Amino acid sequence: MENVPDARVLGRILRASTASFTAGCRTLEADLPVFGSLVQAERSDGSAIYGLIHDVRVDDDPFVRQLIAAGDLTDEYVEDQRQRRQVPVEVVVLVVGGRGRDGRIFHVLPPQPPTTLSWVAVSSADEVRQFGQQLTFMRTVLNAVEAPGDELLAAALRQIAAVQGSSDLANAYLVRAGQELARLLGRDPMRLDSILQRMR
């Protein structure tokens, strides 16, 4: 991932399957990844696997338990623990497509998962815009069993709309996405309305 700016690097793959992966990262509170963000796991052949962040887990480590049991926590102890975490923050990602070696974007599950210790980076605004041009990834998110699909889709669509370049383009994108949602969920008007409300 030599061509990815350090600010975009999120962490490395801890575990992966074809449909999801988990990345471990050491990050400060202000830098925690955002629910619904498009991220990518780079592969050695130049391709990438794209996914949407659907869970961020900040597990405790043994030292945190000791600090809490001790009671009086100073700001220095809290800041030191955040800087020197022994247990990584885990970011769980739903796979929604990828980029082939030829640079073309696809919106289906990849044939193989990313490998452990592969770099994971937050996608740039251009990459998010390019990925969001086709809305076929929406069905994958709506059908996700392990992720809160409705909330995740609304968050992802808002973020894709935000990088369209202007408020008019953002609104046009959300209208197009809403029309596609109406096609996909035409037989479930309550679910459709719930997602449309969350997209605002």
Give pLDDT < 70 ranges for the chain: 1-7, 27-31, 61, 67, 77, 81-87
Q: Which long-range contacts (CB under 8 A, 24 or more apart) does 1-5 make?
A: 1/42, 1/119, 1/121, 4/42, 4/119, 4/121
Overall size of the chain counted in residues = 200
Cβ–Cβ under 8 Å, residues 157 and 178: no
Residue 2 pLDDT? 46
Backbone angles phi, psi at 189, to 5 degrees: -60, -30
**120 - beta bridge partners?**
11, 41
Number of independent structural domains in the chain: 1
In a domain, 24, yes or no: yes
Backbone angles phi, psi at 94, to 5 degrees: -90, 120
| CA gap 6, 138 in Å, rounded | 30
Strand 119-122 to 9-16 pairing? antiparallel
In a domain, 179, yes or no: yes
Q: Is the dihedral of CA 182, 188, 190, 192 positive or negative?
A: negative
Task: Please state the pTM of the whole predicted model.
Answer: 0.87
Residue 68 pLDDT? 72
In a domain, 1, yes or no: no
In a domain, 42, yes or no: yes
| CA gap 176, 84 in Å, rounded | 45
Coil/strand/helix, residue 181: helix
In a domain, 123, yes or no: yes
Coil/strand/helix, residue 7: helix
Expressed as residue numbers, the domain containing 16 is 6-198
